[in-house]
Structure 1
């Protein structure tokens, strides 16, 4: 861990007049920028989820290829601001407690709807592996009967979500909606995403059976997503739980939360669990948006969210920019060299992410890149992992420069103990 110079200590302790825009660079103002950006990101997530709901309503009202495609496009658009908010999950307990409602992953989709025979019929780890709530008016679990005759918010969020203590029993959130809109991706590491027909939502010409209940599940899921995102907006608004908690233990503790979010998402969660693990296993089931083949953009915007936070700047979906005194400003005031190193690594990560996204958009989807024997695709993904790991190391140096105690960033066996992955 780096030590602060005498000049750096004097700068922070005496409050030397450094400004960013029209605001003085102080710890308090940096924390305020961080919270303001969080509020903006969740407001944008809510707005785009409402657009998604409107597109789902249009699909339900008039099922067609066009309305299904529009709903899928709205889902992809909704992921852009939400993924940029994930950097707020680690370090902020209120966000971490809430996050599982909207972005739990991976999921055993057989809990929700029909699946291909190749999915199997049972699992030693999940008694409800193929429960198919959409086709069932009741479920048996541990000798008890769960009434699923009416699909309600309470049923999905309070009864079914992670039922029986199984995290893969994901009944709500973006990925449940993703599965309903796309269906299973049965292509493995070959080209192609899920291809659910629009007639699965057509009550007059129903395919897949139980179209009325599938429509009900989809619309209720969209309602729930909006409810949950409203809670997140309130959490970061003035007087909100997360905004208050950010400074409740002092400014240095608040800054540590910021670095915990950046470091944990960068290292253990994104580089490790979401990327390296799937690469080691060559397993498309480990890709984050596995039904839609949108994983490259999910990873890209996760990384963008980290860069947003460090630089104290976020471009909203309407083009407005929320910015102010940043962590970068604090670090630069104590060590321009350390700040430059962080910026270089952040730029390198976004460069690697851009290569990955461009490759996916030009015809090699992320699940194809994961494939065994795809040396080029594997290399592209590994470059992303390496960049994320490298940038995490610079966060540690930046914390040292600011005199902050280094937290324990989220880890992953795929990075810290690779042999354990195959045990």
Structure 2
């Protein structure tokens, strides 16, 4: 399917008008899998959630479009660094990477319900681009040189051509840590290994000087992987753009309201109660290994954690930057005002606890049991877990059955 990129973001009135003519729920297409989130024996919903569902779809499109725009800015900054590798252009490329990764992290509550990000071409089983975009942990030696092995990785193996095909076909084949693509591959290529106990990686700009055969391979690898991020985010934005033809969003807004709400809340609750609190934070705390920090090369994991939580808050409040939509908060306030107040307070409490985390995260991981940093991170984990439980309670109040992943 060919999707044409259209400039700008669809307005709320156009979005509402197009939603009325969306494809019927039985239609097949990218990422569409029928689901049933209604609790056994529950009656049809009487609360009416059309405005919240349509606003959510608009929010998803805006969020992916923002990530796409920032990835293009990263692509431009990397191009400028490759044209003139020096400390200034490298610093700009790193800043652009951080902005793009934060913007992507602010989309992660849209995962975990078999939408385009996770399962692009169901029912044939092909997965979506999430694994290419944000996979971690990353085995640095699979890509490039590391301390003690100057000839490590694909970049130093001249028998392997550097191309999109060769990079992708080696991604996570023998080991899930053999990551070759995505944000963390670019992060490693911009920062290098983090060998400092007090700071981030310190790859020199001279690694990208033109002329040397291995450096030329490194230059091409960085460009190829950053281009791939842009392409995947463009595709995701297009899948949620109602101005395109047979794309996922048209099927999403035509779903039974309980099915759509079940997907929305499943994404929020799973990010909060499993992916962020367990996989990214608790596992790292338990191991105490600085290598288990998600953005370990740049020491910027705290920013990604905060953006992940922001993605949940954006759905609840119906906001993104200066844009105001209709969040789940308004729906729950109609159904159970007391529950709405408790969830709102918990989301704000969780956001505050993540904002208060001391950076960098790897110092917390290396600190002893009972340290101030560990206590703060453990408190944030507890808040995320409580938040997830409350979101499951929201599902129950809406007549839904929400299951949060446990492994």
Does the alignment reach a TM-score above 0.5?
Answer: yes
What's the counterpart of residue 114 of structure 1?
Answer: 145
Structure 2: tracts of 5 or more residues without a match? 1-38, 119-127
Q: Is the 8 A contact 2:67 2:233 kept in 1?
A: yes
Q: Is the 8 A contact 1:156 1:172 kept in 2?
A: yes
Partners of 1:245 and 1:285 in 2: CA distance: 41
Whether the 8 Å contact between 1:269 and 1:411 is mirrored in structure 2 is no
Q: Does 1:273 align with 2:274?
A: no
Aligned counterpart, 1:417: none
* Residues 1:35 and 2:66 are matched in the alignment: no
Q: How far did 1:183 drift? A: 0.3
Measured against aligned partners, the alpha-carbon deviations of 1:126-170 in whole angstroms (never above 9, x if no partner) come to xxxx851101122xxxxxxxxx23x1112222x121223x22121
- Show the counterpart of 2:295: 289
Give distance in 2, aligned partners of 1:73 and 1:61. Answer: 17
1:161 paired to 2:192: no
**How does 1:310-329 map onto structure 2 within 5 Å?**
310-315=316-321, 320-321=322-323, 323-329=324-330
Query: Match for residue 223 of structure 1?
Result: 227
Distance change (3 Å), C-alpha of 1:94 and 1:385: same
Determine the structure 1 residue equivalent to 2:342. 341
Deviation at 1:283, TM superposition (A): 1.2
Q: Give TM-score, length-normalised by structure 2.
A: 0.83
- What is residue 237 of structure 1 aligned with on the other side? 241
Contact 1:92 1:246 in 2 (8 A): no
Residue 408 (structure 1) aligns with: 403
> Partners of 2:201 and 2:346 in 1: how far apart?
35
SS in 2 for 1:276: helix
Q: What is the deviation of 1:276?
A: 0.5
* Greater share of residues in helix: 1
**Where does structure 1 differ by over 6 angstroms across 4 or more consecutive aligned residues?**
none
| Corresponding residue of 1:177 | 186
- For the residue of structure 2 that corresponds to 1:210, the secondary structure is helix
Correspondence for 2:366: 371
1:95-106 to 2 correspondences below 5 Å: 95-96=117-118, 97-106=128-137
Q: Which moved more, 1:263-272 or 1:393-402?
A: 393-402
Asked whether the equivalents of residues 252 and 404 of structure 1 are also in contact (C-alpha less than 8 Å), the reply is: yes
| Equivalent pairs, count | 354
Q: How far has the Cα of 1:247 moved from its partner?
A: 4.2
Q: Secondary structure at the match of 1:93?
A: coil
Q: Deviations over 1:330-387 (max 9, x none)?
A: 111011100011001101101101111xx32xxxx11001113160111111011011
CA–CA distance in 1 between the matches of 2:227 and 2:339?
45
| Aligned Cα root-mean-square deviation (Å) | 2.0
Shift of residue 249, structure 1, vs aligned partner: 4.3
Contact kept in structure 2, 1:263 and 1:410, CA below 8 Å: no
1:50 aligns with 2:72: yes
Please report how far the alpha carbon of residue 270 of structure 1 lies from its aligned counterpart in structure 2 after TM superposition: 0.2
Deviation sequence 1:296-345 (CA, Å, 0-9, x none): 00000000101101122111xxxx31x32221111110111000110011
Task: Note the C-alpha offset of 1:101.
Answer: 1.3
Aligned to 1:299: 305
* Alpha-carbon distance in structure 1 between the residues aligned to 2:405 and 2:314: 20
**What corresponds to 1:143 in structure 2?**
none
Structure 2 Cα separation of the partners of residues 108 and 294 of structure 1: 18
How far apart in 1 are the matches of 2:230 and 2:72? 7
- The superposition leaves residues 240-292 of structure 1 with CA deviations (integer Å, 9 ceiling, x where unpaired) of 53313424541101100011000100011000000000001111111111100
* Paired residues of 1:92 and 1:242 also in contact (CA < 8 A): no
For the residues of structure 2 that align with 1:110 and 1:253, how far apart are their CA atoms?
44
Q: TM-score under structure 1 normalisation?
A: 0.80
**Partner Cα distance (1:396, 1:53) in 2:** 39
